[in-house]
Structure 1
Protein backbone atom coordinates (compact mmCIF):
# COMPACT_ATOMS: atom_id res chain seq x y z
CA UNK A 1 0.00 0.00 0.00
CA UNK A 2 1.53 3.27 -1.09
CA UNK A 3 0.26 6.68 -0.08
CA UNK A 4 1.68 10.07 0.77
CA UNK A 5 1.45 11.95 4.08
CA UNK A 6 -0.86 14.44 2.34
CA UNK A 7 -3.22 11.66 1.22
CA UNK A 8 -3.41 10.22 4.73
CA UNK A 9 -3.88 13.66 6.34
CA UNK A 10 -6.72 14.45 3.91
CA UNK A 11 -8.73 11.50 5.32
CA UNK A 12 -8.75 13.00 8.84
CA UNK A 13 -9.49 16.26 10.61
CA UNK A 14 -6.27 18.36 10.78
CA UNK A 15 -3.67 16.08 12.37
CA UNK A 16 -0.53 17.68 13.80
CA UNK A 17 2.34 17.64 11.33
CA UNK A 18 6.06 17.44 11.99
CA UNK A 19 8.93 17.37 9.50
CA UNK A 20 12.56 16.68 10.34
CA UNK A 21 15.89 16.06 8.66
CA UNK A 22 18.59 13.99 10.38
CA UNK A 23 22.09 13.09 9.23
CA UNK A 24 22.97 9.49 10.13
CA UNK A 25 26.14 7.38 9.79
CA UNK A 26 26.58 5.46 6.54
CA UNK A 27 26.06 2.07 8.25
CA UNK A 28 22.69 3.12 9.69
CA UNK A 29 21.69 4.64 6.35
CA UNK A 30 22.51 1.37 4.56
CA UNK A 31 20.48 -0.65 7.08
CA UNK A 32 17.49 1.62 6.45
CA UNK A 33 17.81 1.18 2.70
CA UNK A 34 18.16 -2.62 3.11
CA UNK A 35 14.97 -2.71 5.24
CA UNK A 36 13.13 -0.75 2.56
CA UNK A 37 12.58 2.32 4.75
CA UNK A 38 12.44 4.77 1.83
CA UNK A 39 8.78 5.76 1.64
CA UNK A 40 7.85 3.28 4.38
CA UNK A 41 5.37 3.93 7.17
CA UNK A 42 5.32 3.31 10.88
CA UNK A 43 2.07 3.50 12.83
CA UNK A 44 1.09 3.74 16.47
CA UNK A 45 -1.46 5.22 18.81
CA UNK A 46 -1.93 7.66 21.61
CA UNK A 47 -4.27 5.63 23.82
CA UNK A 48 -5.94 7.58 26.63
CA UNK A 49 -8.02 6.32 29.55
CA UNK A 50 -9.03 8.24 32.67
CA UNK A 51 -6.82 11.21 31.75
CA UNK A 52 -3.72 9.04 31.43
CA UNK A 53 -1.83 7.98 28.29
CA UNK A 54 -0.47 4.52 27.57
CA UNK A 55 3.32 4.26 27.16
CA UNK A 56 5.66 1.36 26.51
CA UNK A 57 9.32 1.25 27.45
CA UNK A 58 11.82 -0.37 25.10
CA UNK A 59 15.55 -0.43 25.88
CA UNK A 60 15.05 2.28 28.53
CA UNK A 61 13.17 4.70 26.24
CA UNK A 62 9.46 5.46 26.64
CA UNK A 63 7.33 5.43 23.48
CA UNK A 64 3.74 5.40 22.41
CA UNK A 65 2.93 1.85 21.28
CA UNK A 66 3.66 1.41 17.59
CA UNK A 67 5.78 -0.12 14.87
CA UNK A 68 6.07 -0.80 11.17
CA UNK A 69 3.00 -0.86 8.92
CA UNK A 70 2.69 -4.24 7.21
CA UNK A 71 2.02 -4.79 3.51
CA UNK A 72 -1.67 -4.58 2.53
CA UNK A 73 -2.65 -3.26 5.96
CA UNK A 74 -4.53 0.00 6.45
CA UNK A 75 -2.78 2.51 8.71
CA UNK A 76 -5.58 2.40 11.31
CA UNK A 77 -5.56 -1.42 11.34
CA UNK A 78 -1.77 -1.36 11.73
CA UNK A 79 -2.03 0.97 14.73
CA UNK A 80 -4.62 -1.33 16.36
CA UNK A 81 -2.40 -4.35 15.73
CA UNK A 82 0.71 -2.66 17.13
CA UNK A 83 -1.06 -1.64 20.36
CA UNK A 84 -2.39 -5.19 20.78
CA UNK A 85 1.00 -6.78 20.03
CA UNK A 86 2.90 -4.55 22.46
CA UNK A 87 0.40 -4.20 25.32
CA UNK A 88 -2.28 -6.86 24.92
CA UNK A 89 -5.00 -4.18 24.70
CA UNK A 90 -7.69 -3.95 22.06
CA UNK A 91 -8.36 -0.37 20.96
CA UNK A 92 -10.71 1.45 18.63
CA UNK A 93 -9.24 4.17 16.45
CA UNK A 94 -10.98 7.52 16.92
CA UNK A 95 -8.89 9.69 14.59
CA UNK A 96 -5.42 10.65 13.47
CA UNK A 97 -3.36 12.73 15.89
CA UNK A 98 -0.13 13.37 14.00
CA UNK A 99 2.02 12.59 11.00
CA UNK A 100 5.79 12.82 11.33
CA UNK A 101 7.89 12.96 8.16
CA UNK A 102 11.57 12.24 8.65
CA UNK A 103 14.30 12.61 6.03
CA UNK A 104 17.39 10.56 6.82
CA UNK A 105 20.58 11.82 5.15
CA UNK A 106 23.71 9.72 4.73
CA UNK A 107 26.65 11.48 6.36
CA UNK A 108 29.17 12.68 3.82
CA UNK A 109 27.18 12.05 0.63
CA UNK A 110 23.87 13.84 0.99
CA UNK A 111 21.89 10.78 -0.20
CA UNK A 112 18.55 10.61 1.58
CA UNK A 113 15.39 8.64 2.16
CA UNK A 114 12.02 9.41 3.74
CA UNK A 115 10.27 7.57 6.57
CA UNK A 116 6.79 8.47 7.82
CA UNK A 117 5.01 7.77 11.10
CA UNK A 118 1.27 8.14 11.75
CA UNK A 119 0.09 8.43 15.36
CA UNK A 120 -3.59 7.59 15.68
CA UNK A 121 -5.90 8.38 18.59
CA UNK A 122 -7.01 5.21 20.32
CA UNK A 123 -9.60 4.37 22.92
CA UNK A 124 -9.23 1.14 24.91
CA UNK A 125 -11.94 -1.49 24.68
CA UNK A 126 -12.58 -3.90 27.49
CA UNK A 127 -13.65 -3.75 31.11
CA UNK A 128 -10.34 -2.80 32.80
CA UNK A 129 -7.69 -1.44 30.41
CA UNK A 130 -5.42 -0.31 33.25
CA UNK A 131 -5.15 -3.82 34.72
CA UNK A 132 -5.15 -5.51 31.30
CA UNK A 133 -2.19 -3.55 29.86
CA UNK A 134 1.07 -5.45 30.19
CA UNK A 135 4.13 -6.13 28.05
CA UNK A 136 3.00 -8.48 25.31
CA UNK A 137 6.13 -8.36 23.14
CA UNK A 138 9.63 -9.51 24.02
CA UNK A 139 11.12 -6.13 23.08
CA UNK A 140 8.89 -4.22 25.55
CA UNK A 141 10.34 -3.76 29.06
CA UNK A 142 7.30 -2.11 30.66
CA UNK A 143 3.82 -0.71 30.02
CA UNK A 144 2.50 2.24 32.03
CA UNK A 145 -0.49 4.59 32.14
CA UNK A 146 0.87 8.09 32.84
CA UNK A 147 -0.50 11.58 33.44
CA UNK A 148 2.80 13.08 32.25
CA UNK A 149 5.27 12.49 29.45
CA UNK A 150 8.46 10.88 30.81
CA UNK A 151 11.69 12.82 30.25
CA UNK A 152 13.23 9.96 28.25
CA UNK A 153 10.37 9.69 25.73
CA UNK A 154 11.17 9.34 22.04
CA UNK A 155 10.01 12.49 20.22
CA UNK A 156 8.91 13.96 23.54
CA UNK A 157 7.96 17.31 22.04
CA UNK A 158 5.46 15.77 19.61
CA UNK A 159 4.01 13.42 22.26
CA UNK A 160 3.56 16.39 24.62
CA UNK A 161 1.79 18.35 21.87
CA UNK A 162 -0.50 15.37 21.22
CA UNK A 163 -1.39 15.04 24.90
CA UNK A 164 -2.10 18.75 25.19
CA UNK A 165 -4.30 18.65 22.10
CA UNK A 166 -6.27 15.47 22.83
CA UNK A 167 -6.40 14.89 26.60
Structure 2
Protein backbone atom coordinates (compact mmCIF):
# COMPACT_ATOMS: atom_id res chain seq x y z
CA UNK A 1 0.00 0.00 0.00
CA UNK A 2 1.35 3.43 -0.96
CA UNK A 3 1.09 6.28 1.52
CA UNK A 4 -0.40 9.46 0.15
CA UNK A 5 1.86 12.47 0.58
CA UNK A 6 -0.20 15.38 1.88
CA UNK A 7 2.60 17.95 1.62
CA UNK A 8 0.85 19.80 -1.22
CA UNK A 9 -2.29 20.12 0.94
CA UNK A 10 -0.27 21.30 3.96
CA UNK A 11 1.49 23.91 1.78
CA UNK A 12 -1.87 25.19 0.53
CA UNK A 13 -3.32 25.43 4.04
CA UNK A 14 -0.19 27.23 5.23
CA UNK A 15 -0.41 29.76 2.38
CA UNK A 16 -4.02 30.52 3.30
CA UNK A 17 -3.12 31.03 6.97
CA UNK A 18 -0.18 33.28 6.02
CA UNK A 19 -2.39 35.40 3.77
CA UNK A 20 -4.84 36.03 6.61
CA UNK A 21 -2.09 36.88 9.11
CA UNK A 22 -0.29 39.15 6.65
CA UNK A 23 -3.44 41.17 5.99
CA UNK A 24 -4.20 41.46 9.71
CA UNK A 25 -0.79 43.08 10.27
CA UNK A 26 -0.89 45.22 7.11
CA UNK A 27 -4.38 46.52 7.98
CA UNK A 28 -3.52 47.25 11.62
CA UNK A 29 -0.13 48.94 11.17
CA UNK A 30 1.31 51.39 8.70
CA UNK A 31 4.72 52.83 7.88
CA UNK A 32 6.71 49.61 8.19
CA UNK A 33 9.47 48.21 6.01
CA UNK A 34 8.44 45.22 3.90
CA UNK A 35 10.70 42.50 2.56
CA UNK A 36 10.48 39.16 0.84
CA UNK A 37 12.98 36.34 0.92
CA UNK A 38 13.01 32.79 -0.41
CA UNK A 39 14.63 29.77 1.17
CA UNK A 40 15.09 26.34 -0.33
CA UNK A 41 14.89 23.77 2.45
CA UNK A 42 14.87 20.00 2.91
CA UNK A 43 11.57 18.15 2.69
CA UNK A 44 11.52 17.56 6.46
CA UNK A 45 12.25 21.23 7.18
CA UNK A 46 9.54 22.25 4.69
CA UNK A 47 7.01 20.13 6.58
CA UNK A 48 8.06 21.67 9.91
CA UNK A 49 7.75 25.29 8.75
CA UNK A 50 4.52 24.58 6.85
CA UNK A 51 3.00 23.12 10.03
CA UNK A 52 4.05 26.21 12.01
CA UNK A 53 2.64 28.49 9.33
CA UNK A 54 -0.62 26.55 9.17
CA UNK A 55 -0.99 26.88 12.95
CA UNK A 56 -0.13 30.60 13.32
CA UNK A 57 0.95 32.01 9.97
CA UNK A 58 4.46 32.41 11.40
CA UNK A 59 7.40 30.17 10.45
CA UNK A 60 9.80 31.83 12.93
CA UNK A 61 7.51 33.43 15.47
CA UNK A 62 7.82 37.13 16.30
CA UNK A 63 10.83 39.38 16.83
CA UNK A 64 11.73 42.78 18.24
CA UNK A 65 13.84 45.61 16.86
CA UNK A 66 14.99 46.99 20.20
CA UNK A 67 16.81 50.28 19.86
CA UNK A 68 18.37 53.03 21.93
CA UNK A 69 17.45 56.67 21.22
CA UNK A 70 20.98 57.09 19.82
CA UNK A 71 20.19 54.53 17.10
CA UNK A 72 22.04 51.48 18.42
CA UNK A 73 20.27 48.23 17.67
CA UNK A 74 20.14 45.14 19.88
CA UNK A 75 21.26 41.87 18.33
CA UNK A 76 21.68 38.44 19.90
CA UNK A 77 24.20 35.84 18.83
CA UNK A 78 23.33 32.36 17.68
CA UNK A 79 26.81 30.95 18.12
CA UNK A 80 25.94 27.57 16.57
CA UNK A 81 25.50 29.30 13.20
CA UNK A 82 27.87 32.22 13.87
CA UNK A 83 25.15 34.79 13.16
CA UNK A 84 23.79 37.89 14.89
CA UNK A 85 19.98 38.06 14.78
CA UNK A 86 17.10 40.01 16.24
CA UNK A 87 15.75 38.60 19.50
CA UNK A 88 12.62 36.58 18.96
CA UNK A 89 11.11 33.18 18.52
CA UNK A 90 8.00 31.09 18.57
CA UNK A 91 4.76 32.43 19.98
CA UNK A 92 3.01 30.27 22.58
CA UNK A 93 -0.65 29.35 21.90
CA UNK A 94 -1.90 31.50 24.81
CA UNK A 95 0.06 34.63 23.74
CA UNK A 96 -0.59 37.38 21.26
CA UNK A 97 2.15 37.79 18.66
CA UNK A 98 3.50 40.88 20.40
CA UNK A 99 3.39 39.18 23.81
CA UNK A 100 5.50 36.38 22.32
CA UNK A 101 7.99 38.90 20.94
CA UNK A 102 8.21 40.58 24.37
CA UNK A 103 8.73 37.28 26.18
CA UNK A 104 11.45 36.21 23.75
CA UNK A 105 13.18 39.60 24.11
CA UNK A 106 13.24 39.16 27.89
CA UNK A 107 14.62 35.62 27.65
CA UNK A 108 17.26 36.36 25.03
CA UNK A 109 18.46 39.79 26.19
CA UNK A 110 16.96 40.46 29.63
CA UNK A 111 15.29 43.76 28.71
CA UNK A 112 11.90 45.19 27.86
CA UNK A 113 10.92 47.92 25.39
CA UNK A 114 8.15 50.42 24.90
CA UNK A 115 6.71 49.23 21.62
CA UNK A 116 6.09 51.81 18.89
CA UNK A 117 4.40 49.46 16.46
CA UNK A 118 5.48 47.21 13.63
CA UNK A 119 8.91 48.00 12.19
CA UNK A 120 9.20 45.30 9.54
CA UNK A 121 6.77 42.88 7.93
CA UNK A 122 8.42 40.04 6.08
CA UNK A 123 7.20 37.41 3.68
CA UNK A 124 9.36 34.29 3.89
CA UNK A 125 8.86 31.83 1.03
CA UNK A 126 9.90 28.19 1.34
CA UNK A 127 10.57 25.75 -1.48
CA UNK A 128 11.26 22.05 -1.44
CA UNK A 129 10.90 19.22 -3.90
CA UNK A 130 8.37 21.03 -6.12
CA UNK A 131 6.36 22.43 -3.20
CA UNK A 132 6.15 26.08 -2.16
CA UNK A 133 4.51 27.97 0.68
CA UNK A 134 5.14 31.14 2.63
CA UNK A 135 4.80 32.62 6.10
CA UNK A 136 4.82 35.98 7.82
CA UNK A 137 7.70 37.41 9.85
CA UNK A 138 6.44 40.29 12.03
CA UNK A 139 9.17 42.41 13.64
CA UNK A 140 7.96 44.92 16.21
CA UNK A 141 10.00 48.03 17.01
CA UNK A 142 10.48 49.58 20.41
CA UNK A 143 12.75 51.81 22.42
CA UNK A 144 14.63 49.97 25.17
CA UNK A 145 13.41 50.63 28.71
CA UNK A 146 16.85 49.61 29.99
CA UNK A 147 20.15 48.86 28.32
CA UNK A 148 21.73 46.34 30.72
CA UNK A 149 21.68 43.02 28.89
CA UNK A 150 21.43 39.51 30.34
CA UNK A 151 20.98 36.35 28.30
CA UNK A 152 18.60 33.89 30.00
CA UNK A 153 17.61 31.80 26.96
CA UNK A 154 15.96 28.56 28.13
CA UNK A 155 16.63 26.96 24.73
CA UNK A 156 20.37 27.66 24.94
CA UNK A 157 20.46 28.95 21.35
CA UNK A 158 21.47 32.51 22.26
CA UNK A 159 24.96 32.96 23.70
CA UNK A 160 25.40 36.75 23.71
CA UNK A 161 23.47 40.02 23.40
CA UNK A 162 24.98 43.38 22.40
CA UNK A 163 24.10 46.87 21.23
CA UNK A 164 25.46 47.75 17.78
CA UNK A 165 25.96 51.10 16.13
CA UNK A 166 27.41 49.36 13.05
CA UNK A 167 25.83 46.03 12.18
CA UNK A 168 28.27 43.11 11.94
CA UNK A 169 28.76 41.51 8.52
CA UNK A 170 27.29 38.24 9.85
CA UNK A 171 23.93 39.82 10.71
CA UNK A 172 20.89 37.96 9.37
CA UNK A 173 18.82 40.13 7.01
CA UNK A 174 21.39 42.92 7.38
CA UNK A 175 20.11 44.92 4.40
CA UNK A 176 16.55 44.91 5.77
CA UNK A 177 17.77 46.17 9.15
CA UNK A 178 19.82 48.89 7.46
CA UNK A 179 16.74 49.96 5.49
CA UNK A 180 14.71 50.11 8.71
CA UNK A 181 17.43 52.19 10.46
CA UNK A 182 17.53 54.61 7.55
CA UNK A 183 13.77 55.05 7.69
CA UNK A 184 13.67 55.31 11.49
CA UNK A 185 16.75 57.45 12.12
CA UNK A 186 17.40 59.04 8.73
CA UNK A 187 20.83 57.42 8.47
Give yes or no for TM over 0.5: yes
Instruction: Determine the C-alpha separation between the residues in 2 that align with 1:93 and 1:75.
Output: 13
2:108, 2:152 within 8 Å by CA — same for their partners in 1?
yes
Deviation at 1:117, TM superposition (A): 0.9
CA distance in 1, matches of 2:28, 2:172: 26
The count of aligned residue pairs is 159
Give the corresponding residue for 1:12: 29
1:44, 1:66 within 8 Å by CA — same for their partners in 2?
yes
Displacement of 1:43: 0.8
Moved more, 142-151 or 132-141: 132-141
Greater share of helix: 2
CA offsets 1:56-115 (integer angstroms, 9 cap, x no match) = 0012210111111222422222221111111110222111111111121113xx212222
Please name the residue that 2:66 is paired with. Answer: 47
* Structure with more of its chain in strand, by fraction: 1
- The one of 110, 122, 133 equivalent to 1:88 is 110
TM-score by length of 1: 0.85
Gaps of 5+ in 2: 1-16
SS in 1 for 2:181: helix
TM-score (norm 2): 0.77
Is residue 2:95 matched to residue 1:73?
yes
Larger Rg: 2
- Which segments of structure 1 move beyond 6 Å, counting only runs of 4 or more? none
Identify the residue that residue 62 of structure 1 maps to in structure 2. 84
1:159 aligns with 2:177: yes
Distance 1:28 1:4 in 2: 21
| 1:147 aligned residue | 165
Instruction: Quote the RMSD (CA, aligned, Å).
Output: 1.8
